[in-house]
Amino acid sequence: MAETYRVVVVDDHPLFRRGVVQLLGMNPIFEVVAEAGDFESAM
């Protein structure tokens, strides 16, 4: 069984953030568990 990496995507540009989430979603070893627009929101 392959290891899965849980990822939080943080970036202040919504379009870029969405693209990163979609790109990571294409690879089954990554699981995007959250996304945020800034560090404070992520924490």
Domains, the chain, ranges and CATH? Answer: 5-42 (3.40.50.2300)
Q: What is the DSSP string of 1-43?
A: ----EEEEEE-S-HHHHHHHHHHHHTSTTEEEEEEESSHHHH-
Is the confidence at residue 3, as pLDDT, over 80? Answer: yes
Q: Calculate the average pLDDT of the chain.
A: 96
Q: Structure tokens of 14? A: 């919504």
Average pLDDT over residues 8-27: 98
Q: pLDDT value at position 1?
A: 63
